[in-house]
Structure formats: structure tokens, C-alpha cells
Chain A
Amino acid sequence: MTRVFARSAICFCALVASSGAFAGMGGPFGNAPPEEGYGLLVYFPDIIGPFVSAQIAFQRELTAATHAVANDPRALIGLLALSFAYGALHAAGPGHGKAVVSSYVMATRQTLRNGLLLAFAASTAQALCAIALAVVASRLFHLTSVMIANATFKLEIVADVAVLLLGARLVWSKILRPLLRRLTTPPPAPAEALFAGPMASQPMTMPVVSRFAAVGLDAGAASPACDAADADCECGGFHIPDAKFASGLDWRKAWMVVTTTGLRPCSGALIVLAFAISQHVLVAGIAATIAMGFGTFLTVAAFAAIAASSRAGIWGAGSASLARARFIRCCEAGGALLVFAFGLALLAGHILLDAGWSP
């Protein structure tokens, strides 16, 4: 976990420190941070337009609330509530965070608990990145607004590349490799596979019957037999959810999800933090950013929960185990393809917009 954190932190610092500007990308004054998920603007202008509009309205309210705190500390409650709502709305709007987290949850059959953990880690990382940029980097290293805008652009593009890589890895481990294996070695008979357990490397810990009972009773317990794009996982075989109740999240594999969704700070937070500093209420600004993070968590968690529970809901209906296994595999493959397609679409969107194409 610490190594994972260190890796992300080094990536972040290297990017921010790297020189070179994106000419003509900072708006009419050259230093405005880009809109969230602007890589998606190309595809859904009609959906994203109103969100952008609503977010800007919120940002204005946020700065007004920050101003109020500077005059009267009791106004902090209002600022925090507003920040929380902004975070929730902002995550529901453009941006790929919820899409990647929920697709990942689906592709790797994470438990509800792990889905919520991932959402929490991603939202926290995003809040911390905003604070790192607007407070630490700006105050200590005299990062200018132009550099902050450039860093935000770079972080967004890196996050999009990370989505593509994550998608590629999932497609490989969930679709391509199982296909390759099936071609090279004929699969065992269904009955044999069922009772032999999904894989040799993971010994059964509970009797088969109780495992099915667990699936029917609790969606959250429908834990994956193979964790997050597990290299040792024989995904071509028939999967049976095993009894790893509340299995932990494999951070070595999940850190990329956190990176893709948490790396890019939200521009609303950047403005509010800068304004809070100028009004001498830095602590209120940081508190507001964290409240935004909680709001974001709520929305992303809702999507992750839908991904985890919709699948579990159909499992719970409990038809034939063969059909169930097929369904699970479709979910996995679908989730993997979704992440990959997202990465491609986001990058293409950037390239199109940067080339001056208009939606």
C-alpha cells in the first residue's frame, strides 16, 4: 500500500514539475484549468453542456460561501454542505471516474465492500491532489496559475492513458488469455469443473453447498475467485464464487484505478482553494475540498454499488450454475471492454479537441 502510494506520488510530482506548456489550451487568459472530462465533450455535448453550466454556477456559490466564512466562521457549515453537494454533482457529470470504477468492479467481480473502498480511495486521492497542487505546490514551490492549468491538462491526459492501459490489461486477462487457453487446452467437462473448484492455486475453504448459500444470501459476499485481473487466475474455466468473505482489495492491482480517477484535481476545488488562501481561510478551503471529496465518493460509490449488486441480484435469483457462470464471464468481458473503450474514446476526444475540432 505504501509502495503504491509512493508510486502515485512520484508520478504526480514528475508530471507537475515537467516543463512545457500546452499552447492555447488555458482559455482566453491562458491560465484557466480545463473543464472536467473535457475529452468526453466531443461525444455528448448535449448531456455535458448543462453539467458544465451547473458546475460553474456552483463554483460561484462556493466562492461566495468562502467569502462568508472569512467574515463569519459560523458560515463554515454552509460552505461544507455546498462543497459536499458540488462534489456529488461534479462526479455525476462528465468525467470518467464512476465509469472506470464501476466497470472495474464488474470486470474483476469485486465485492460491494471493495467497490466502496475503491470509490473512497479514488475520491480521497482527488481531494488530496487538489490540495497538493493548490496549497503545497503553489505555496512552497511558487507554482503559478499557468503551471497549475498546464499540470491539470497533463494529469487529465495521463489519467486517460491510464484508463486505456487498465482496459488493455483487463481485456488481456479476461478475454484474450482465456480464449488462448481454450484454444490450446480443451476445457474439462462442466461437472468436473464445478466440483474441482475454479483453480488449483486457490484451495477450497468451504463446502460447495454453503458457498452457494452465501451467494444467495448476501450480494457482498459474492467475492471473486480470482482477484483483480489476477495473473494466476484461470478465467477460462467455470467460476464459482468462493468463500473469501470480505476479501481484501488487491492494492497492487487496484492502484491504477485510483490513479485514473483520482489524479486529476477538479477545477472547482483549485479555484476555491486559491480564493480561500487569499481570504486567509486556508483551513476552511481544505475542509471544503475534503467535503467535495466525500460528495464525489457518494456518487462514485452509488455507481460502483449498482455494478456490484446488479450482477449479484441476477446471481441471487440462482438458476442453473452453468448459466450463471456464463453470465459472470459475460459481465467480466463486458466490464473489461468498457474500460478499454473508455480509454480509447477519451484519448481520441482529447486529440480531436486539441486539433480544433468542435462538437
Chain B
Amino acid sequence: MSLSRSFSLLAFLLSVVVAAGRAEAHPHILVDAHVKLIFDQRGQLTAVANAWDFDEAFSAYAIQGYDSKGDGKPTRKDLQPLAQINMDALKEYHFFTTVTADGTTAALGAPTDYWDEFTNEKMTLHFTIPLKQPLPVDGRNVSVDVYDDEYFAAVSFPKDQPSAFPSEPQACRDILQRPQPLDSATAQQLAKIPVTQHELPAGLHAVTNKLVNAIVMHCGRADETK
């Protein structure tokens, strides 16, 4: 009887520990997103070029079986099938990317130039999302959001993110909007979303605005009037 008693006690203690444990924000995957905005010669936004660094643990898991030499160092060619799977899966999540101009969402095309590479123990996913129509930015408030609103992956710009403008168009001011720490209530709400779900439940949109990781641009005339 004493054995079973001690087990019962243990079960009770376990449940207390679990109940007392605070639920915090815990994404499955950490992503450092290097984002570049591509403009055409007329200064219109045409594409969003991404290079996403995954955390080391997920990188080690992800590259399993892709190293053709069996040395744990897959080449870009080895990883191409995985990049294809990444793209197919991310499509269901709209590539975590939203481009809006004055509040209107711009239509995005299919990804181009995508590949995975594994360097310094980290896998990086490169891909470019073209806009279906070049987007004039002059005088408009343009926002490029790159984040996972379900928080399965915590996407954020790296601390050393350089300017998102490789070929800067007219006078633009960009502000990097970084995600803020989540409160436990929001984290718990997000933790309920299963891996199979691709869309954020409608009621949750309001609470996830803290996760927003975005480049907010003010270009040209709008900048002057403000």
C-alpha cells in the first residue's frame, strides 16, 4: 500500500507543479528574417526577398536525411526537395507575408528563386515573393508584414537587420516594427492552435497584433505632410 500511496502523492505533486507553471509565449521555431524590398526603376515595390535563418535545433532536425554524403552537411542541391516542400507548406500560410498600401492588401504572386542552404549549423530559406502588380509607394503608407500570426514560428528581424532598401527609391523613411513580448493569456490562446491549422481563428486577430513584425514605410509626399 505504501508504494501506491507514494505514487498517488507523486501524481498529486506533479499536477500541482503543472498547474502552477506559468504558460508563456513559446514558439516551436525561431526565425531570423532578413527581408529586402525590391523596387523597379520607377520606384514601385515589385517583390519581397527573404532569407530566413532557422534556430539550430530546428535546423538540425530539418536537414536530416538530406545530406547526400552522410556528413551532416547537405548542399544547396541536396536541400532543393526540402525547399520545394517548404514552399508548398508555406503557401497555405500565405508565406507569412502581407503587403498593404493605405490599408489595402496587395495581391502576391507565386514564390521565385527559392532554396535552402545550411551554413554555420543553421539552415537558411531563401525565397522571393513578387507582387502581382508593381505597387506605387510614393505618398502612401506602405507596410510589409512578415510574421506568423499563429506563433508556431516566431519570426523577427535580426538585431543587425540592415536597411530593407537595397536600391532606395525616393525619399523614404522606414520603421522596423518588431514583435513585443506576449502576455500569458495571448500565449495560451495561440498554443491551442494545432499544427494542422493554417488560418488564424477569426477571434484571435485582435490579440496577435503584438506579434507583428513589419517594415512600415512612409515615402515621398506623405512623409512631408506629416
Contact = CB atoms under 8 A, between A and B. Distances in A.
Contacts of A48: 192
B181 interface: no
Interface in A260-306: 270-272, 274-275, 277-279, 298-299, 301-303, 305-306
A218 B195 CA distance: 46
Contact of A302 (B11, B72, B153, B189): B11
Given A92-B15, A278-B60, A28 B96 contact: yes
A299 B89 CA distance: 36
Contacts of A28: 89-90, 92-93, 96, 148, 152-153
Interface in A286-339: 298-299, 301-303, 305-306, 308-309, 312
Interface residues of A, number: 69
Interface string A17-40: 000000011111111101100100
A142 interface: yes
Interface stretch (A124-132, A143-151, A185-193, A200-208): A143-151
A54 B20 CA distance: 11
A29 B62 contact: yes
Interface stretch (A55-63, A76-84, A223-231, A235-243): A55-63
B65 A143 contact: yes
B23 A358 contact: no
Interface string B180-213: 0000000111011111111101000000000000
B82 interface: yes
A138 interface: yes
Nearest to A98: B11
B7 A27 contact: no
Contacts of B90: 28-30
B40 interface: no
Contacts of B65: 138, 142-145, 147-148
A181 to B, nearest CB: 33
Contacts of B152: 27-28, 32
Nearest to A38: B194
B64 A59 contact: no
Interface residues of B, number: 61
Contacts of A60: 26, 57
A50 interface: yes
Nearest to B153: A28
Q: Secondary structure at chain A's binding surface: helix, strand, loop or mixed?
A: helix
9 contacts: A26-B85, A27-B89, A28-B152, A59-B28, A144-B66, A270-B61, A271-B61, A275-B61, A309-B1
A27 to B, nearest CB: 5
B26 A38 contact: no
B63 interface: yes
Contacts of B61: 31, 145, 270-271, 274-275
A316 to B, nearest CB: 8
A57 B24 contact: yes
Kindly list the 9 A-B residue pairs having the minimum CB-CB distance in the complex, ordered from nearest: A30-B89, A144-B65, A309-B4, A302-B11, A305-B7, A278-B60, A56-B26, A50-B23, A63-B57
B7 A301 contact: yes
Given A24-B92, A29-B89, A148-B64, A35 B187 contact: no
B83 to A, nearest CB: 10
A89 interface: yes
Interface string B8-19: 101100110110
Contacts of B1: 218-219, 309
B60 A31 contact: no
A35 B194 contact: yes
Nearest to B55: A63
Interface in B34-78: 56-66, 70, 72
B194 to A, nearest CB: 5
Contact of A356 (B81, B86, B197): B197
B89 A305 contact: no
Given A27-B152, A145-B61, A49 B192 contact: yes
A198 to B, nearest CB: 24
B26 A53 contact: yes
B28 to A, nearest CB: 6
A21 B17 CA distance: 38
Given A31-B62, A92-B18, A299-B11, A53 B195 contact: no
B139 interface: no
A146 B85 contact: yes
B134 interface: no
A88 interface: yes
A51 interface: yes
B187 A53 contact: yes
A302 B201 contact: no
A302 B62 CA distance: 35
Contact of A27 (B82, B187, B188, B195): B195
Contacts of A312: 4
